[in-house]
Amino acid sequence: MLHSRATKRASTRRFRRHPVSRPTHRTPGSPFPRLGLLVLAAAIFVSMSTEFLPGGLVPNIAETFDRPVTDVGQLITVFAGAVILTTTPLAVLTRRMPRKPLAIIALVGIAAATGLTALAPTFEMLLIARGAGGVAHGLFWSVAAAYAADLVASSQLGRATAITAAGGSVAGVLGVPLGNALGQAFGWRVAFGTLAAVAVLVVLLVALLLPAVMPNPPAPRKASARDASTPSALGGILLVCAIILLVVIGQTTYGTYSVVWLGEVAAIPSAAIPAFLFGTGLAAFVAVSAVGRIADRFPNGAMPVAVGLLAVLSALFPLAAAWGIGALVVTALLQAMAFAVVPILLQTRMMRIAPPHQRATAAALQTTAFNVAIGGGAALGALVVGAWGLGALPWVAAVLPVAGLILLLLTPRASASHAGTDPHPSPSHTEVHSVS
């Protein structure tokens, strides 16, 4: 027996001295990984810029291939369709693969597809390149949406999500307009080629500076653990997806035709519209920069307030337009700030709800919901304009978020089933291993 105890103690000492090499989960006392999050934000900037860049270059591309603009609009449809169809299956297939190499593979795919877009000799090849870019974009987001949650403790999740989401905001405020300006000055191929080069640079930054995380372990096999976590987590995940659909469809219904509404309903001169849009984009960026700490301090109260403000401000658009351009500008700036923070709050809530083993699936469903909402909002906007005219668009942008707010308020327990819990337990001692 003494020999057995000695052997057991020796074995324990050997285990502690030579533990299995793996990334350490972040605990509340760990340093905040700002550099890694900024690198992830840069990767999101590239991904979002790649998605949105064709929108402002449709006439140029149509002229190159002698196609109607409606045909070139398929570039956006093909991209979104590829994201919708492939994101969730790819998340399931890759859920046990290391996260950092997977992010690099996805970014290499984005860079390659963007480069192929710049060099495409035919319109058919252009469609293929955009479809491939959509697949890479979907794979990237199935990783990126949950990456911040794996780098920080849950008490820092709002701040981390805000930093990474700033990449998407910069893409909207600076990246896409600059890309479009470059395309107008030197041709759309130069714009896509430049973005491909930036994507290659970001791949190198990710490879060198992004901390590695491992896929989370599968759910426990015990019935009690499965019954306690999985059903409630799935319900909360689907709830957040439903709120995404309602809020984003409503906003995209108006947003798709916002330039037309501003010109024809609000009577803003066409020369002033670019400055108007730049101002709202800048306001959105400011809001994104400030929302992180608020989301961490008020994890359950911030989102209902933001969605409620979004609905009210959207409903005020017609009245503000009647009062004059000053009132409309103030309303639009506040509305842009509210809408900018809602996706961050939704993503933060999604990652708090989802237990670690369901984060990849939750991220994929979230990405799919956003893309379905963007496409669905554009389609609904066309129907609304055809049936009731442009003046009805702000009302749709207000009513659907109200429906999302009601859904949120009626099911608070499901929406916050895992909120406030730290998926990374605080061990008595922390062992750090390099896996980069």
Cβ proximity of 112 and 203 under 8 Å: no
Given this model, what pLDDT does residue 30 score? 66
Per-residue pLDDT of the chain (436 residues; tens, 9 = 90+): 444 445 444 444 444 443 333 444 454 456 888 899 999 999 999 998 998 888 778 778 888 999 887 788 778 778 888 988 888 888 888 878 888 999 999 999 999 999 999 999 999 999 999 999 999 998 998 888 788 878 887 778 778 888 888 888 788 777 777 887 888 889 999 999 999 999 999 999 999 999 988 666 555 555 444 444 444 577 888 888 999 999 999 988 888 788 788 888 998 887 788 788 788 888 888 888 777 777 778 777 888 999 999 999 999 999 999 998 999 999 999 999 999 889 888 888 888 888 877 777 888 888 888 888 887 887 888 888 889 988 999 999 999 999 999 988 876 544 444 433 443 433 333 222 333 2
CA distance 189 to 193: 6
Residue with tokens 């496409």: 375
Q: What is the CA radius of gyration of the chain?
A: 23
CA distance 226 to 230: 5
Pick from 146, 161, 153: nearest CA to 340: 161
Residue with tokens 């900018």: 340
Given this model, what pLDDT does residue 216 score? 61
From residue 264, give the alpha-carbon distance in Å to each of 257, 276, 321: 11, 15, 11
Phi and psi based region of residue 319 (left: phi greater than 0; alpha: psi -120 to 50; beta: remaining):
alpha
From residue 313, give the alpha-carbon distance in Å to each of 264, 351, 364: 20, 28, 30
From residue 352, give the alpha-carbon distance in Å to each of 146, 237, 400, 401: 10, 10, 24, 22
Given this model, what pLDDT does residue 415 score? 40
Q: What is the 3-state secondary structure (H, E, C) of 33-91?
A: CHHHHHHHHHHHHHHHHHHHHHHHHHHHHHHHHCCCHHHHCHHHHHHHHHHHHHHHHHH
Our CA angle for 272, 168, 329, nearest 5°, is: 30
Given this model, what pLDDT does residue 46 score? 94
Given this model, what pLDDT does residue 122 score? 94
Residues 6+ apart with CB under 8 A from 255: 377, 397
CA distance 46 to 380: 28
CA distance 434 to 104: 18
Given this model, what pLDDT does residue 23 score? 47
Pick from 312, 337, 320: nearest CA to 266: 320
Our CA angle for 400, 406, 407, nearest 5°, is: 90
Our CA angle for 73, 79, 81, nearest 5°, is: 100
Residues 6+ apart with CB under 8 A from 8: none
